Amino acid sequence: MYSEKVMDHFMNPRNQGEITDADGVGEVGNPTCGDIMRIFITVKENVITDVKFQTFGCGAAVASSSMATELIKGKSLEDAWEISNKAVAEALEGLPPIKMHCSVLAEEGIHAAINDYRKKQGLPPWEEKAGHHHGHDDLKSEE
Amino acid sequence: MDHSATTATDPEVVTAMLPWYSQQYGNPSSLYRLAQESKSAIDEARGKVATAIGAKAEEIFFTSGGTESDNWALIGVGYANRKKGNHIITSAIEHHAILHTCQYLEKQGYSVTYLPVDETGKVSIENLRAAITDTTILVSVMFANNEIGTIQPIREMGKICREHGILFHTDAVQAIGNVPIDVVDMNIDLLSLSAHKFYGPKGTGALYIRKGTRIDSYIHGGAQERRKRAGTENVPSIVGLGIAIEKAAASLDTNTRRIQLLRGHLLDKIEHNIPHCKLNGHRTDRLPGNINISFEFIEGESLLLLLDHAGIAASTGSACSSGSLEPSHVLMAIGVPIEIAHGSLRLTLGTENTDEDIIYVCEELIKAVERLRTMSPLYADYLKKRS
């Protein structure tokens, strides 16, 4: 059901854990849906120098979190913001259609962490792009 | 550890089946000797199934499995008794072979009552009694639940149905080979069973229909199964079903006692070694090999993946594994909070399981739950709140 890459990231998650003095923390999802993702970032001179995640969810949710942290580590906030759910899914060599929402959650998690950082810096939050998927239901019809 | 999903076909059963594919390939409906041997083999298997459940041979009809038997029982009885009424009573925790068939019948103008269950998964006799109306034609309640293993008070339900002149069907797919069943003593009019749940082959099953029961055919065509179920008989599988059910009935006491003991050890170990877990279902009135347990702060599909990596096959009621993103309707019906349902694990033991298996499964389960909790934000929050 899952690609080798997904299984690799699930069995050996990268950057799993917590940054206690994180500059930004984003939490998305809820326990009723069965997945919660929490992303911690450390930002130095506009670059994400460290990132960690905690995830409650299925194999795809854990793998998406792990891959998302790999993709944004060392990137500028602007570049990290541009990483789409599709990029996360592609980097994982694909996700089953019904699990695509896990990659959406990862994208949202990154955005939430970046905006939390911006808020703490007294900056206005960046806005989500129009047509952006927010939940399971939006995606179901598309996939 | 997933014997409720299916079992490995007993080698003795396979051996008994093989000749019926090659040398003994006759069509039971033909008249020459080769064909008549196939017919005798089917009749012998029919007798074995009947003996195992206390029925008469002529009351057993072979089908393609549990799902067909369930469909036939509901639709066949529904259509044949349409003039008498259009009301069917079932329970909220039935297998989808029953629930989806009921939904189909609702579209055909039937009305269906889905009886609620208590927190252990039991249907109440009072609720059943109260749900019966003048138009009720059929009650269908599963013998034992496939997810949580809860065993229903079948005899009492059958008695009430008999008193009211209502037909009583039970989906006994999970119960056969695990619980003693006597259709006469238990007032059962129709009973579904499936061979692959008790070490028989897949794709074969039977429907017991008490003599005199008004029921339409479901599969139309030739005159097989005394004109009730058309289609050339799956002779090898029917032979396999016969051997499997005979063996299951013969070893019922010793087997269930052994499996129940193993299950008890495993459950004790889990409950002693893993904090924040809760058994779903009834503690005693459950299938001997069934454990359904929820682990807080983690999600079931990821738990299955870790166990699978360790060579352990299990099952979960988590939405994330269902293909529909809906959590188990059974866990919802017994009132398990949705986030706890996500963390549910079903282990179902069978004859091959050993004491070593129990020790190994417990060790791996402890590791897997711990690992997922370490990465869970819910567990992190819990630890922070506690300190």
Catalytic positions of A, please?
Answer: 33, 102
* A141 part of a folded domain: no
Residue extents of the structural domains in chain B: 11-250, 252-386
Per-residue pLDDT at A41: 98
**Min distance A58 CA to chain B CA atoms (Å):** 5
Q: Burial of B163 by CB count in 10 Å (0-12 exposed, 13-18 middle, 19+ buried)?
A: exposed
Number of domains in chain A: 1
Query: Across residues A15-37, what is the average pLDDT?
Result: 93
Residue B321 — very low, low, confident or very high, per pLDDT cuts 50/70/90?
Answer: low
pLDDT in tens, A74-118: 999 999 999 999 999 999 999 999 899 999 999 999 999 999 999
Predicted ipTM beyond 0.85? yes
Chain-wide mean pLDDT for chain B?
Answer: 96
AA identity, residue A45: E
Q: Does A14 touch chain B (CB under 8 A)?
A: no
The CATH number covering residue A118 comes to: 3.90.1010.10
> How would CATH label the architecture of B11-250?
3-Layer(aba) Sandwich (3.40)
Report the 10 Å Cβ neighbour count for B111: 15
Residues in B closer than 8 angstroms to A143, CB to CB, are none
Half-sphere exposure of B234 (CA within 13 A, CB side): 18
Homologous superfamily of domain range B252-386 = Aspartate Aminotransferase, domain 1 (3.90.1150.10)
Residue A128 has pLDDT above 90, yes or no: no
Question: The tokens of A39 are what?
Answer: 């992303």
Most B CBs within 10 Å, among A4, A9, A58, to test the B interface:
A58
**A136 reaches B (C-beta below 8 A):** yes
Cross-chain Cβ contact B320/A35 below 8 Å: yes
User: Per residue in B11-64, pLDDT tens?
Assistant: 999 999 999 999 999 999 999 999 999 999 999 999 999 999 999 999 999 999
Instruction: Answer whether residue A133 is part of any domain.
Output: no
Question: What are the distances in angstroms from CA A3 to CA A59, B4, B324, B348?
Answer: 11, 27, 20, 28
Compare all CA atoms of chain A with the CA of B373 and give the residue at the minimum distance: A56
| The amino acid at B136 | T
Residue A142 lies in a domain: no
Structural domain contains residue A131: no
At B87-124, the pLDDT tens digits run 999 999 999 999 999 999 999 999 999 999 999 999 99
Considering CB atoms only, which of B342, B375, B379 is closest to A34?
A: B342
Which domain covers residue A14, as residue numbers? 4-124
- Flag whether residue A98 sits within 8 Å of chain B, measured between CB atoms: yes
Structure token digits, residue B314: 């299990």
- The sheet that has B136-140: what strands, in order across it? B60-63, B205-209, B190-194, B167-171, B136-140, B87-91, B111-115
Count the Cβ atoms, other than its own, within 10 Å of residue B309: 13
A31 in B contact zone (CB under 8 Å): yes
Residue partners of B245: CB distance under 8 A and separation at least 6: B48, B49, B52, B176, B177, B193, B195, B198, B200
Neighbouring residues of B12: CB distance < 8 A, sequence distance ≥ 6: B243, B247
CB contact, 8 Å: A36 with chain B? Answer: yes
CA distance A85 to A93: 13
Chain A residue with CA closest to B380: the answer is: A54
Interface membership of A58 toward B (CB under 8 Å): yes
Question: Which residue in the block uniquely carries the two structure tokens 């909790």?
Answer: B373
Residue A143 within a domain: no
Please check whether the two domains, B11-250 and B252-386, share a CATH topology.
Answer: no
Question: Which one of A16, A18, A58 has the shortest CB-CB distance to B299?
Answer: A58
A14 belongs to a structural domain: yes
Can you give the pTM of this predicted structure?
0.93
* Residues of chain B with C-beta less than 8 angstroms from the C-beta of A56: 297-299, 375-379
Q: Shortest CB distance from B318 goes to which of A32, A34, A136?
A: A34
Distance CA(A89)–CA(A100), nearest Å, equals: 7
Which chain B residues are Cβ-neighbours of A35 within 8 angstroms?
299, 320
